[in-house]
Amino acid sequence: MDRPAWAPEGVDMQQASPARMYDALLGGSHNFEVDRQAAAMGKKLVPDLPRVALSNRAFLRRAVRFMADAGIKQFLDIGSGIPTAGNVHEVAQSIDPEIRVHYVDIDPVAVAHANAILLSNDRATATEADLRKPEPLLDEVRRSGLIDFEQPVGLLLVAVLHLLADADQPADKVAALRAAVPAGSFVAISHLTSELRPEDAAQLGANAANQNRIGIHFRDRAGIETMFDGWDLVEPGVVELPAWRPESERDQHEAPGRSLGLAGVGRKI
């Protein structure tokens, strides 16, 4: 298969990636056959999987609006994914065009596509870095100068921490980021959970590991709540994705009691 223009050189077109699989689930066009097959297998096991992705995107939009309404002027979106409908800079800059957004992702396709669509936007950029190494990641972000770490930051860790293994100590990574931002900053976290549908979670996790060599770590409520240690949870706390401050019926992508994701927003005081 020829390498498409949007895929940077060196990308392995035979190995599925979480960013491209998620893009395929959302109906995007920046994915390879191997990603579409992985997404199709996930849908076969759990037919409402695309709804989980939509539910997560809807949470992301609401969390960004909430933070922008609370006065946040700059966002650091880590594990930002391949740009799709309702990107953070679009949501935030529609509220205040001066808002700045720094996207970070480990996936070169996500970063290349983000920078391609941001060419004419001098208040948003994207950088390739690894959440498992917060200090070099923060150094990269500081170097670009878009985020002022003396001012409150809207930190977005949406659907990324479940891609870190327990050995990566995801809660410690959140704590390291928390230490880098001032009081008044917010964090939004969403995370795949085994809490409500343990069998579906186990099947999806095993399939991703065995078929696609991707580690997806569904965690229980306690494991996810730990990631908010040191943050003051805003109402309604850590809840199912569609239950976090829904704005309309259209936010109800998953049935109550059936979400595969938990989400919350915390404030640093």
Interface with ligand SAM by CB under 6 A: which residues? 18-19, 22, 56-57, 60, 78-81, 105-107, 110, 130-132, 158-160, 163
Residue 225: count other Cβ atoms within 10 Å of its Cβ: 18
* 56 vs 259, beta carbon nearer ligand SAM: 56
Q: Is 195 helix (H, G, I), strand (E, B) or coil?
A: coil
* 73 vs 113, beta carbon nearer ligand SAM: 113
Q: How far is the CB of 62 from ligand SAM (least distance, A)?
A: 12
* 42 vs 81, beta carbon nearer ligand SAM: 81
16 vs 41: CA distance, rounded Å: 12
Q: How far is the CB of 237 from ligand SAM (least distance, A)?
A: 20
> What is the 8-class DSSP label of residue 219?
B
Q: Where are the alpha helices (DSSP H) in the chain?
A: 18-25, 33-45, 49-69, 88-95, 108-117, 134-144, 170-180, 198-212, 221-225
Sign, CA torsion 189/190/196/198: negative
* 70 vs 214, beta carbon nearer ligand SAM: 214
Residue 65: count other Cβ atoms within 10 Å of its Cβ: 16
146 vs 246: CA distance, rounded Å: 31
Q: How far is CA 151 from each of CA 75, 126, 147, 178, rounded to the nearest angstrom?
A: 11, 20, 8, 13
Q: How far is the CB of 202 from ligand SAM (least distance, A)?
A: 19
What backbone phi and psi angles, to 5 degrees, belong to 5? -60, -30
Q: How far is the CB of 208 from ligand SAM (least distance, A)?
A: 12
* 196 vs 208, beta carbon nearer ligand SAM: 208
Structure tokens at 257: 């009691």
Contact 54, 251 (CB under 8 A): no
* 81 vs 264, beta carbon nearer ligand SAM: 81
Q: How far is the CB of 29 from ligand SAM (least distance, A)?
A: 15
Q: Which amino acid makes up residue 245? A: R
* 99 vs 164, beta carbon nearer ligand SAM: 164
Structure-token match 């927003």, residue found = 265
Q: How far is the CB of 261 from ligand SAM (least distance, A)?
A: 10
Contact 59, 263 (CB under 8 A): yes
Nearest residue relative to ligand SAM (C-beta): 81
Q: How far is the CB of 227 from ligand SAM (least distance, A)?
A: 15
* 52 vs 234, beta carbon nearer ligand SAM: 52
Q: How far is the CB of 40 from ligand SAM (least distance, A)?
A: 17
